[in-house]
Amino acid sequence: MPNFKYRALAPDGSRLNGVIEAYDEFEAVDRLKQNGAIIEAIARVDEQKVGLLQMQIGSQKAKEKELALMCSQFAIVLKAGMPIVRCVELIAGQTSDKLLSKILAEVAEDVAGGYGLAQSFENKGSKELPTSFIETVRAGEESGTLEVSFEKLHTYFDKSSKIKAKVKSAMMYPIFLLVISVIVIAIVLTVAMPVFIDMFVSLNTELPAPTKLLIAVSDFMAAYWWLLAIIIAGGIIALKLWQRTEKGRMAFARFQLKMPILGNVALMKGSSQFANTMATMLTSGLSIVRAVVICSRTLDNYFLSTELAKTAAGLEEGRPLGWCMQRSEIFPDLLVEMTSVGDETGSLEETLTTIGEYYDSETAIASERALNSLQPIITVVLGVVIGFIVISLYLPMFTMYGAM
């Protein structure tokens, strides 16, 4: 549990300073008041910063694949009638993921102390666990259908992890091909070219313009490769910092959707995330406004996330979800129309589940199409670059043979 540093007045008028362990600030105040203290100030004590060597390398977000397995375990054990405290302790010991195991162990302590499961997850893993996970567990607790909520979460995270894996798999080959090609070209220009340059100089003839250009590029890369590396690294860092700003984050999200070839993949993936997340939230018993707010936080594309969050205002006014989405003019027409049908027929959860499966398939197809389109483009570009290098190397030889 977190610690809270307080300053208070005792019943006899003396001043009290100390640290108290409590679940949250309100519980800390209540416990101090039980002793007759008058609270003057209270604040949470920040946890001691972890040293550099103790820091975990990599992302601190829980992996969806591991979350799917954990939710499946929860659903099975809860159906067997095991008490929730024992259930959390058991799964904590069986989970191979170190991050989830640590969170579950801490959650088990809180639940044993009488706190709710969702609140414990929020307190111990709000930064590592998705908002959709915590809120769905909370809805299951409130409705008394916790095992059903975990079943829905298992299906949701399992499907989401598989879709993301397909997209990554489809994009890996062109990226790998591009990186290897750039490395090979750089090696040719910095290692092989100097040998040819010495040979060309020994000819004592006027070199063709393409050869001069290639030699200039090779000389620059050999002499100033460090400057080029600094420029590239600086550009990447500047781009990352810019993306952390509101303006930069929004601009980059818009650019992702408007990119040729890959923009359609981003839109299909966002539509799939929306439909599947909303279906899971609504089936678990969350209100539509609350489900939309949570869903907007889970979308990968920030622009889609912002546009979806805006629909909450219309929903609070009593407008249908499909009508609110149509106002944004960013979501695919089919998604908007099917959502409107679900609103009108009163079967929004089932409709979103169906349309979610459709966009799962469309995301995979769009990724495959993007791969098929990128491969020839990359091949042509690399062919032009390599062709230029080969021609630039052979032109002086042709010139020499012509002079003989």
Q: How many CB atoms lie within 10 A of CB 26?
A: 10
Residue 341's pLDDT is 92
Rg (CA), the chain: 30
Q: Quickly tell me which residue has 């089919």 as its tokens.
A: 334
Q: Which two tokens stand for residue 331?
A: 């979501």
Q: How many CB atoms lie within 10 A of CB 128?
A: 16
Q: Is the pLDDT of residue 18 over 70?
A: yes
Exposure b/e, 368-377, CB count within 10 A at least 16 = b: eebbeebeee
- Candidates 98, 101, 130, 105; CA nearest to 120 is 105
Rounded to 5°, the CA angle 246-268-174 comes to 90
pLDDT tens for 280-301 read: 888 888 889 888 888 888 888 8
- Candidates 172, 374, 376; CA nearest to 259 is 374
Share of the chain above pLDDT 70, in %: 90
Q: Quickly tell me which residue has 């359609």 as its tokens.
A: 264
Residue 23's pLDDT is 58
Residue 404's pLDDT is 52
Q: Is the pLDDT of residue 77 over 50?
A: yes
What's the mean pLDDT in 275-280?
A: 88
Phi, psi of 7 (to 5 degrees): -130, 125
pLDDT tens for 177-216 read: 778 888 888 777 777 777 777 777 676 667 778 878 888 8
3-state secondary structure of 126: coil
Q: Quickly tell me which residue has 């959860």 as its tokens.
A: 349
Q: Which two tokens stand for residue 97?
A: 């993921």
DSSP 54: G
CA 155 to chain CA centroid, Å, is 19
- Candidates 120, 85, 91, 126; CA nearest to 106 is 120
Residue 21's pLDDT is 67
Q: Is the pLDDT of residue 230 over 90?
A: yes
Residue 281's pLDDT is 84
Q: 122, 2 in Cβ contact below 8 A?
A: no
pLDDT tens for 149-169 read: 898 889 888 888 888 887 777
List the domains of the chain with CATH numbers: 3-48 (3.10.20), 64-129 (no CATH), 152-404 (1.20.81.30)
Choose the weakest-confidence range: 38-42, 175-179, 236-240. 38-42
3-state secondary structure of 43: strand
d(CA 182, CA 320): 51
User: pLDDT band for position 58 (50/70/90)?
Assistant: very low
d(CA 92, CA 103): 8
Please enumerate in sequence order all residues whose Cβ is within 8 A of that of 402, keeping only pairs 6 or more positions apart, or say none. Answer: none
What's the mean pLDDT in 53-58?
A: 41
Phi, psi of 5 (to 5 degrees): -90, 130
d(CA 174, CA 370): 10
d(CA 265, CA 295): 19
